[in-house]
Structure 1
Amino acid sequence: MRLHPLSLALCLALPSIALAEEAPEPGQTAELTRVVVSATRTERVIADVPNTVDVIDRARMDETLTRDLKDLFRYEPGISVTSSFGRFGLGDIRVRGLGGNRVRIQTDGIPVSDAFSIGSFSNANRNFVDLDTLKRVEVVRGPTSSLYGSDALGGVVSFVTKDPSDYLGEGKDSYFGLKFGYESSWSGLFAGATAAARLSERWSAMVAVDHRQGKETENMGRVGGEGAARTRTDPQDRDGRSLLTKLVYEPSATQRFKLTVEGNEDSADTDLLSMRGRQASTGATNRLVTGDDHQTRARVSLAHEMDEVGAWFADSLDWQVYRQDSETTQDTMEVRRTSRGVNERRERQFNFDQRLYGVQANFHKEFETGGARHTLSYGLDVSRAETRQKRDGLVYNLDSGAVSNAMLPDVFPVRDFPISRTTNAALYVQDEIALADDRLRLIPAVRVDRYELKPRADAIFREDNPGLEIADLRKTSVSPKLGAVWHFAGQWSLFGGYSRGFRSPPYNDVNIGFTNRMFGYTAIPNPDLKPETSNGYEAGLRFVGPALSASLSTYYNTYRDFIDSTRFIGFNAEGLQVFQSQNIDDVRIYGVELKSSVDLAALSDAWSGWSLRGAVAWSRGKGRGAEAVEVAPGVIEDRTVTTHLASVDPLTATLGVAYDHADWGAELAGRFVGRKDRLPPVQSGAPAHYRQTPGYAVLDLLAHWDFTPGARFNVGVFNLADRRYFDAGDMPLVTPGSNVVDRFTSPGRNVSMSLALEW
């Protein structure tokens, strides 16, 4: 039986509404009464914010044995995390079908480094946060540039790290905790320690350290050995560690200074067995290919919070200054025999680093005008980043002993864009207007961003791109927003509104530069790129009762001027093909989302301890190119047709049944995903379509046991039935006849466990 997605959503929603009507009196359930900050930059329960927000707290992360981003969003339909076969692992976070640098990811308000990739050997991701250092994750779905500026085109993922106050309370001046764990899917071992102490009446501090190590993440590939036919994952050794320290000074009960030092480091050594053997593209035979990848992030920040300012301009405020350094280094080594019979060793190095400085300040003021109560929030956000990227390499002739930096088509070292300094300065203002005894809330907001790009061509870039003129860029963007929440009948409320998003033209698109005369092409800068923009519309219905909380929403987002990197635009006077980044695509993504939880104990004492939670996300996405393309002299390919977006997930749902006793509990959780049958057509050649990702249903079993005060054991068995399935975001666009699709399968039955001790 095949249900229409909207029918499925209603099937889940109607029983929830019926349960709600049986509730004896108003009350609160956990889901929609959680306090969030990211949605409005003020502390509000989810039921009072005008858009869809997800909150995953520390307790839930521990219950689901969350170790990485894929675990984090495992039970959050509408949010997905991609991963790739081979050495690079996890990819981007997609929110409602939009991912990459179009989603703002931040830690304590500070954005993480950009993602960047080029070719087969260079891929800098944004996976820079150890989730064990977090106390909460908030996700705002849809355009959010009115509060967070550029890159919040598709949404905001906000990581909030732990504080000493999370461990110290009345009569408790010290804390020490240990945590150990194991995950069979990658033979992963991890251990962590956290210590917090009140040093004096005004001073407190905490230190958290974590270490992790393991092997490659398993899949269900059946073909081993060496070469392009291999579908099992390549052997890998992984290692990582993190440090979070905070020193807090409280001159009074209403203000705090926080000094934070945070660092994260990950390494992976990969034996790329799948890249051994004869290479069809070059005719060479690879005898050995290895990858050595290393990434680090370090930040220091000083923050100040005042709860009671008592001034005409603010009742409360917070500000912080920060510096953050992020770097990815990836080394690749190949030993091979060329098609001409020459034995050689090739060593490649890719480096991408970004240094970020910034200051943020937020002010809040409450006042009344007539029958309206206002909460005015305003502030500034100024940041400056310097971004560098370089590829380098050497070729060693193992027969003659000659060494060369020419690894065609490149002569190393090269930069694919000049050293770039970007400065962003922004002001925002938002007013939360409460009317009719707080039953109606209107939230208008606007933010103005000034973006400046100043590239600097050093000797490496100049030598690789002689005579190429690079360009500065200055853009101003205005991002308005209007939201509303109407509590129209007791526990029922309507919410929705409009929000605009934008993304400034990236440095690598504005000033991309390389010329390859051997293969007859060149790439040139484009100083006329326009920012990518979006218009987001959302409306929804919520219910918050003693037994049930539920939220049903629909959204419609349009995106304009998407940037197509290295687009072919014609030929120059030398006869070289010319590529340039250009604004071309218009995209629209729309969908329906339902989320609910039921506390069955509120309905009957016989159901004490039992609860249900579920969610459904259905979405569609289409894009349209702006014009036809000359793919070769005299050959025109029409790309103006509307096509489906591969980044939009199919119908996804989760359902969990949980039982919690005084000192133990268990949950049976199901994940259900429909077939991904809406894919873009193959633009050139045959076949005319890509392989569809099959649908699947997977069951997980989670349990916890507090076997003594201060000691908890968590265990989870994932993919109980050992199903062979593909996460929709993991399978790239491959033809139906591909014989290596098993590479992209998820792990089979696997076990995770952790032991936490605290004093």
Structure 2
Amino acid sequence: MTGTHRAQRAPARYWPLLLLSLACGGTPAVGAEPAAGLSPPVLETVHVTATRRFATELEVAEAVTLIDADGIARQAPGVLAEMLSGQPGTYFQQTTPGQGIPIIRGLKGSEVLHLVDGMRLNNAFFRNAPNQYLALVDAFAVERMEVVRGSAPSLHGADAMGGVLQILTPEPTFDSSEWQAQGRAYLAYRSADDSVVGRAEAAAGNTGQAWSGGVTWQRYGDRSVGGGDVVGPTAHDARSGDLKWRGAVGTRGELMFSAQVLEQPSTPRVDELVAGFGQDHPSSAEFEFQPNRRSFLHARYRLKNGTGWYDRIEIHLARQIITDDRLTREFGSTERIEEANESTLDGMTVQINSPWAGGRHELVWGLEYYTDEVDSSRVSTDIVTGVSEDARGRFPDGSTMDSAAVYAANRWDWDRFMFEAGLRYSRFDVSLPAAADVEAVSVAPDDLTGDIHAAWELAPGWRLVSNIGRGFRAPNIFDLGTLGPRPGNRFNAPNPDLKPETVWSYDLGLKASGGSWQAELFVFYSDYRDKISSVLTGVVRPDGRLEVRSENLLEAELYGIESGFRWRLSDTLESYGALNWVRGSEDDSAGNATPADRVPPLNGRLGLVWEPADRLRLESWFDFASAQNRLSPRDESDPRINPDGTPGYGTLNVLLGWQADPRLELGVRLENLGDKRYREHGSGIDASGRSIGFWMNALF
């Protein structure tokens, strides 16, 4: 029996180049196999998201980042996006515990395409701002997470403006015709929020088929921040389960069926319940997401040929239902609002890989179709009189958003040069029924987008790469029709007159790999036209909230540098790091230039791993960020952000792992040893203070 197959996970998939002699990067624990000692960084990692085919990191022209299951187990993140903190080109933002998003090259929310096993997580009410939906994917049921940094319009299309984040779940394989079984038990604890995470999973099968599944339970208490203060209410729970079956169909085909569900029964919105910067009282007396839930059903068919006009055909069918129910009450109000919001997203994708010229070149082509329907309602109840009445939902009830696309990308490979070019045609049909405050809206934008990628081998192990892409994103139902309170003491008014946004994205990079090191350095520039952003209208609502609505800005620019490295100093010692710098500006319709919204400060990570014996791992890493004083007008009025700027910080962390047995790993993790009180820029809560964590990972 081979056990769970880790999809050719390679311990050394951190490259980045040491920039200005400083860096900080990859997740400290990412990529090391428990009992094998330090693995040579020259071992390359397989990526499938960047090119929709198997390719090593050095072969891929795009800037990519990979997180694996071992790193997740050691870090025990509260939400999956935490794993991208300290990685090249990414930043972690958290509005409230139980939620969190990655910011990729300064972009967030619906500006980044999120996928789960190849199917869209982004739905019709996915916000172009921090949101909770990525947190509805179980971090402890993930095989690996792949991030493509930069626009990816031809292969991935809408929402892939700043990048693509794909989550891939485990697919166990067995090498015997006899039935075999395996299992795993995982347990983790962290003192800063008195959290406990437990997961149990099992798999059984043979060479013809395999069953796998598991359940995860998470409990979090109120958060202790630097200096010992406890912020609350932040306590919440999450529970999830997953089931998957894979089976051979004939000699060349394979079917897969899977189901995933995660629910947060009641999660408080801490930034609404605790007074922020510039506030003498909180915005809300009550604010709970109850419940938030994601259900996902997925079927996949693969057919391998090896001869003829195709090498592989892959067909996906999926249904995703996201429930975003809320209970809210404004501070000082007797009116309690209960919301019910639900998106039902059905999708079908077809992908065909067709090598030609003896396999030296390859055409990847296919089609996609998604249809999304949004149900939304509100009930208002006076908590004094008990009188209830129906009200217009957050979104127009019965709104729909359909999309269809065809794409093709061809890759040419020569001895030292690779060139890839792709095109995609996309069409959207968005329909919002009439409501009391807005007329019916129907828009049908379409566009032809594309990209080119090139890589030149300067010398063995050294590649100069470049990527250019033109992306396109149609306004979704959130952009067009949202009505109601927003975080940061704001109130969103609908704007049915939005246009699509487009972006030209450019980057130039150097990837290098030697006998004991890997490194990467990228510079990038993105030029947005008609970028959709939430702006102040100048209206102050009777409840004191500032009215905002989504509008097309004339232009926005983002540019920066991202870098990282991994260097094996000896057989037992290895260092790694990454450093990111982003700068952004936006021009409004009057031509006024301001800093871009929520752009991360200079940030990074520097780490050292020491393995004096095969079964022992000692790791220390230093996370840091400089102050961020370049604030947009929205930043300055956002109670989550200090109007004088977000102070910089540095934290020291230590991890000790012990492979007590080939099937049992134990560890302890010490975080924020200096008990620094700090906040990641744009977040709605301070980060955890000094904390001790434990984990156990047992195979059976």
Q: Same fold judged by TM-score > 0.5?
A: yes
Letter in 2 for 1:674: S
Note the C-alpha offset of 1:429: 0.5
Distance 2:126 2:421 in 1: 38
Letter in 1 for 2:120: P
Distance 1:37 1:676 in 2: 35
1:491 equivalent to 2:461? Answer yes
> For 1:390-418, what per-residue CA distance to the aligned partner results, in whole angstroms no more than 9, with x for missing partners?
33211143xxx46253xxxxx73544434
- Equivalent residue for 2:553? 584
> For 1:222-264, what per-residue CA distance to the aligned partner results, in whole angstroms no more than 9, with x for missing partners?
77xxxxxxxx422343211111111111135643211111111
> For 1:104-141, what per-residue CA distance to the aligned partner results, in whole angstroms no more than 9, with x for missing partners?
111101121448599xxx97544211111111000011
> For 1:541-592, what per-residue CA distance to the aligned partner results, in whole angstroms no more than 9, with x for missing partners?
121111111111111111110124576499xxxxxx9987432231111111
**Is the 1:360–1:379 Cα contact (8 Å) retained in structure 2?**
yes
**Is the 1:561–1:584 Cα contact (8 Å) retained in structure 2?**
yes
Cα gap change, 1:747 to 1:563, in 2 (>3 Å):
same
> For 1:165-199, what per-residue CA distance to the aligned partner results, in whole angstroms no more than 9, with x for missing partners?
2x76798821111111111122111111111111x
Cα gap change, 1:37 to 1:273, in 2 (>3 Å):
closer
- Equivalent residue for 1:267? 265
**What's the secondary structure of 2:618's corresponding residue?**
strand
- Equivalent residue for 2:585? 622
**Is the 2:566–2:576 Cα contact (8 Å) retained in structure 1?**
yes
**Is the 1:115–1:125 Cα contact (8 Å) retained in structure 2?**
no
Q: Which runs of 5+ in 1 are unaligned?
A: 1-5, 14-27, 224-231, 339-344, 406-410, 516-520, 571-576, 601-606, 628-639, 732-743
Distance 1:72 1:91 in 2: 11
- Equivalent residue for 2:60? 49
Aligned residue runs from structure 1 range 590-605, under 5 A:
590-600=559-569
Cα gap change, 1:547 to 1:272, in 2 (>3 Å):
closer
> For 1:26-59, what per-residue CA distance to the aligned partner results, in whole angstroms no more than 9, with x for missing partners?
xx95378211011111111111111210011112
Distance 1:364 1:358 in 2: 20
> For 1:305-325, what per-residue CA distance to the aligned partner results, in whole angstroms no more than 9, with x for missing partners?
12325332x121211111111
**What's the secondary structure of 2:154's corresponding residue?**
helix
**Is the 2:191–2:691 Cα contact (8 Å) retained in structure 1?**
yes
**What's the secondary structure of 2:496's corresponding residue?**
coil
Cα gap change, 1:276 to 1:712, in 2 (>3 Å):
closer
Cα gap change, 1:156 to 1:174, in 2 (>3 Å):
same
Distance 1:115 1:94 in 2: 20
1:303 equivalent to 2:300? Answer yes
Letter in 1 for 2:466: G
**What's the secondary structure of 1:509's corresponding residue?**
helix
1:456 to 433, 449, 453: 433
Letter in 1 for 2:660: F
- Equivalent residue for 1:321? 317
- Equivalent residue for 1:342? none
- Equivalent residue for 2:602? 651
**Is the 1:185–1:751 Cα contact (8 Å) retained in structure 2?**
yes
- Equivalent residue for 2:77? 66
Note the C-alpha offset of 1:524: 6.1
Note the C-alpha offset of 1:60: 2.4
1:240 to 238, 241, 247: 238
Distance 1:7 1:109 in 2: 30
Aligned residue runs from structure 1 range 284-433, under 5 A:
289=286, 291=288, 293-308=290-305, 310-312=307-309, 314-332=310-328, 345-368=334-357, 373-397=360-384, 401=385, 403-405=387-389, 412-433=391-412
Cα gap change, 1:60 to 1:218, in 2 (>3 Å):
same
Note the C-alpha offset of 1:753: 1.6
Distance 1:719 1:285 in 2: 30
- Equivalent residue for 2:27? none
Distance 1:365 1:683 in 2: 48
Distance 2:547 2:470 in 1: 34
1:748 equivalent to 2:689? Answer yes
**Is the 2:394–2:482 Cα contact (8 Å) retained in structure 1?**
no
Identity between Structure 1 and Structure 2 (%): 24
**What's the secondary structure of 1:186's corresponding residue?**
coil
> For 1:79-99, what per-residue CA distance to the aligned partner results, in whole angstroms no more than 9, with x for missing partners?
1221225xx652432101110
- Equivalent residue for 2:50? 39
Note the C-alpha offset of 1:504: 0.6
**What's the secondary structure of 1:332's corresponding residue?**
strand
Cα gap change, 1:402 to 1:191, in 2 (>3 Å):
closer
Note the C-alpha offset of 1:449: 0.6
**What's the secondary structure of 1:9's corresponding residue?**
coil
Letter in 1 for 2:342: D
Note the C-alpha offset of 1:142: 1.1
Letter in 2 for 1:699: L
Higher RCO, 1 vs 2 (CA within 8 Å, ≥6 residues apart):
2
- Equivalent residue for 2:673? 720
1:758 equivalent to 2:699? Answer yes
Distance 1:123 1:713 in 2: 34
- Equivalent residue for 1:442? 419
Distance 2:456 2:166 in 1: 26
Distance 1:537 1:386 in 2: 35
- Equivalent residue for 1:227? none
- Equivalent residue for 2:113? 104
Distance 1:12 1:31 in 2: 22
Distance 1:133 1:597 in 2: 27
- Equivalent residue for 2:513? 544
**What's the secondary structure of 1:721's corresponding residue?**
coil
**Is the 1:32–1:549 Cα contact (8 Å) retained in structure 2?**
no
Cα gap change, 1:304 to 1:722, in 2 (>3 Å):
same
**What's the secondary structure of 1:48's corresponding residue?**
coil
**Is the 2:79–2:98 Cα contact (8 Å) retained in structure 1?**
no
TM-score (norm 1): 0.79
Note the C-alpha offset of 1:745: 2.4
**Is the 1:276–1:289 Cα contact (8 Å) retained in structure 2?**
no
1:181 equivalent to 2:188? Answer yes
Letter in 2 for 1:300: L
Distance 1:675 1:281 in 2: 22
1:30 to 33, 41, 57: 41
Note the C-alpha offset of 1:495: 0.5
Q: Which runs of 5+ in 2 are unaligned?
A: 1-15, 24-38, 486-490, 540-545
How many pairs does the alignment contain? Answer: 653
Distance 2:175 2:636 in 1: 62
Distance 1:106 1:684 in 2: 32
Letter in 2 for 1:356: L
Letter in 1 for 2:292: Q
**What's the secondary structure of 2:58's corresponding residue?**
helix
